[in-house]
Chain A
């Protein structure tokens, strides 16, 4: 029995690959297109330079100076972060130090203090009008410039390095260390030859996150008046109004961020064998501290006094000992509502757009869907100041009706946070077995009905987590807000920044406190996720 149809119906496998449904593909392609808007407009604006002007712009000696300053800042922050994070991570994983749980929580709390609030607190310490001089009569120079920026950035970014190191130290296969020890290597040699190479991926991942924060940070650098790329872009844009040069500086900053990413990928590729394996033998038995105990606690006290005690004490001083006029406090709820009213639609939009992207990349893996998913990271990787500036160019060039509207700010925030929203949704989808969806198909349900009945109900927690992450990010976001918020629309972050630049420390305090309190929620979420990871 031969069926003639059998021959006709046979086509190449490429045509027969499982095709993603249209209701997922259309929004995903829309998102990918949106992600390229800032990039395109940045280059369009930069391309408007005259040829002779172009050479002068690109090869201006000042660019080299800015590059050097930025690299110096990054190196300084990484050094201080290492000093703050390494011993702490070691203490909570490998020693018998008391209250490990609390120390871990405290090490994550500084994430609640945005860089510009950290800078605000540091600026209030020294100088004639500073707290030290007012309260104790101690005169020290104003903390600003390079070291001010380094400390402001380090004190709030070191938790990222700490969390990476802690996870890697806990996941390290102890049998590797033990076999090295049994081969006669000393503890110091084991650390250098076995432990550090295995920690390398975690260290690099932590350094990358911190490095990208340093490049992208604008508030702390601007308040400390340190001439890094982001500060220069800001002064070019707001002071000199040289937008073509600002665009070129943004492109240089983007190239630097790209270099960081490539460098990490390159080092990790060559060190493939050094990556942490999944095999977790046994938990290491923690070593007693012995005579090191006092030194360890001294160090722990310094870390937390600097990262938590200092900003809290400074805010406390401006709120209670030298408070501003009571009318300032009344402005806080209104400003808070301003921030929240823009952050809420951005969170909703980011989650709605993240859903099809995640579902597509997890369930219909192909080179096309991978590309669509990756495109969402453009917005996250773009330094926020660059993204904000590009959106200004976009509005001025193409969508002028959008300029100075809340809509533009919301869209820019969505582009910046889409990858953030994808995190929890993607991992929830990955945990969901595809067989449950196939079971629904076999029972006669269409892809759309299956998504609605079977997939979406189980994503509820992930969707809530994504909403909260984006919302909290937007609540404390500064550079994009600063560039795109309509004139007169003052959010918490912008208020703190502009009042601090004018030296109105007390008048900024209630707003900074509101941000810190609210960001505490986001830290709670990070801790919650860490706890879930630990439980798994």
Chain B
């Protein structure tokens, strides 16, 4: 992000793509489930602007769902603060927060029809306005004709849309999604994800999503927060988090990576794969993360080749190779139009400079 130009002493200028209004601000949120144990959520802070989508990404047990439930008010934080549009809601009960929550299991009321489920959310509207508004939301979700069905008579994708319709019908200031796509099968997941993202963007809804699927986080969100063991390791745009992970955990969690060591000097690092360019100013021993698609393989005669193919995995549009060079293993993703046999000799070329990880 760009720094202040007018010398106003550390004031940050907002990214012009975002509207300046802050929707939610979380400060040092901490939750201990049992005294003396490691905190489930440990000092998490972030700010989200109106209309933005944030994905909290992490392995199971990292505290991402607990964070979401604290924001919704289902769990009480042990310390820290949640500000919704500048107002402190940390001690408010869930029903007073105006935060929508879409549950992993959708939590539709099984004794109510689809229309009743959605109308149940419209406490703020007069009774006579509710039927028309219910129709509006169901049509928006492509659920017309299903008004009088019960939740158990719908498919998983339909249930998911009803859950979303019910949440949006309450016109919340913020929508929280807890692994919303995990109960859908793979073919349905991608289309639903795209539809929902388009819908949120159209209506300018602020969304926080919790997921353990890195592809989902990278495609769905404007901001990705990677969590590990109760801490927020990195929070940035998907591109930045992927390309410049702040540490080895983030690098590994967002996909395969090669970790290299080398001596840096004057913007160059000497590594086993040759001299690589990095940002200037770093000196001494460094650790680099190199994505497998940033490496290129070229065939070479046995005498001057450096690496040998150990295994090969065909993945449709590309190959995933494991190679060995001087006793160290590397992974490389290469397009499927050329194929190297297991045992053959190749050279590894680096296409792009790596990102330096802190020690």
A residues apposed to B, CB below 8 Å: 1, 3, 5-7, 9-14, 16-18, 433, 435-436, 438-446, 453-454, 457-458
Contacts and interface: CB of A to CB of B under 8 A. Distances in A.
A457 B111 contact: yes
B101 A9 contact: no
A13 B39 CA distance: 11
B278 interface: no
B72 interface: yes
B28 interface: yes
A22 B100 CA distance: 26
A255 to B, nearest CB: 37
B81 interface: yes
Interface stretch (B87-95, B140-148, B303-311): B87-95
Contacts of A443: 95, 120-121, 123, 166, 170
A441 B103 contact: no
Contacts of B74: 438, 441
Contacts of B91: 9
Given A433-B107, A442-B101, A13 B93 contact: no
Given A443-B120, A446-B95, A457-B111, A9 B90 contact: yes
Interface in B60-107: 72-74, 76-81, 88, 90-91, 93-101, 103-105, 107
A438 B109 contact: no
B32 interface: yes
B27 interface: yes
A441 B93 CA distance: 8
Contact of B95 (A3, A441, A453, A458): A441
A439 B109 CA distance: 9
B178 to A, nearest CB: 9
A439 B27 contact: no
Contacts of B120: 440, 443, 453
B110 interface: yes
A6 B107 contact: no
B184 to A, nearest CB: 17
Contact of B81 (A5, A16, A438): A5
A16 B78 contact: yes
A14 B110 CA distance: 34
Contacts of A445: 95, 123
Contacts of B166: 439, 443
A5 B78 contact: no
B203 interface: no
B177 interface: no
B105 A13 contact: no
A1 B27 CA distance: 9
A436 B167 CA distance: 12
A444 B80 CA distance: 23
B54 interface: no
B88 A438 contact: no
A446 B90 CA distance: 18
Contacts of A1: 27
A458 B167 CA distance: 21
9 contacts: A6-B27, A7-B79, A9-B79, A436-B107, A438-B74, A438-B101, A442-B170, A443-B170, A444-B124
A114 B121 CA distance: 51
Nearest to B176: A442
B111 A435 contact: no
Given A6-B79, A6-B80, A435-B103, A441 B94 contact: yes
A10 B29 CA distance: 10
Nearest to A10: B79
Tell me which of B101, B104, B111, B167 has the highest count of chain A C-beta atoms within 10 A of its own C-beta. Answer: B111
Given A435-B105, A439-B101, A13 B27 contact: no
B207 interface: no
Main SS at interface, chain B: loop
Contact of A444 (B35, B72, B90, B98): B98
Interface string B12-39: 0000000000000001101011110000
Contacts of A5: 81, 88
B250 interface: no
Contact of A12 (B35, B99, B110): B35
Nearest to B31: A13
Nearest to B120: A443
B105 A16 contact: no
B108 interface: yes
Interface residues of B, number: 44
A262 to B, nearest CB: 30
A9 B81 contact: yes
Nearest to A442: B101
B110 A439 contact: no
A445 B166 CA distance: 14
Given A7-B79, A442-B72, 20 more contacts: A3-B27, A5-B81, A5-B88, A6-B80, A9-B79, A12-B78, A13-B78, A18-B76, A436-B110, A438-B101, A439-B103, A441-B73, A441-B93, A441-B94, A442-B172, A443-B123, A443-B166, A443-B170, A445-B95, A458-B111
Closest 7 CB pairs of A and B: A10-B79, A435-B107, A441-B94, A16-B76, A439-B107, A435-B103, A442-B101
Contact of A6 (B81, B111, B123): B81
Contacts of B97: 442
Max chain B CB contacts within 10 Å: which of A14, A438, A443, A446? A443
A10 B78 contact: yes
Nearest to A436: B107
A458 B110 CA distance: 8
Contacts of B100: 442
Contacts of B103: 435, 438-439
A521 to B, nearest CB: 27
A251 to B, nearest CB: 40
Interface string B164-177: 00110010100000
Contacts of B28: 6
A458 to B, nearest CB: 5
B326 to A, nearest CB: 48
A12 B34 CA distance: 10
Contacts of A7: 79
Nearest to A14: B35
A466 to B, nearest CB: 18
Nearest to A459: B111
A444 B107 contact: no
Contacts of B105: 433, 435
Given A13-B35, A436-B109, A438-B103, A444 B170 contact: yes
Interface in B237-295: none
Contacts of A12: 35, 78
A137 to B, nearest CB: 65
Contact of B80 (A10, A14, A18, A457): A10
A443 B73 CA distance: 12
B101 A444 contact: no
A460 to B, nearest CB: 9
Nearest to B88: A5
Nearest to A15: B76
A178 B92 CA distance: 58
A433 B105 CA distance: 9
Q: Which one of B78, B93, B96, B166 has the highest number of Cβ atoms from chain A below 10 Å of its Cβ?
A: B78
A440 B74 CA distance: 12
A436 B108 contact: yes
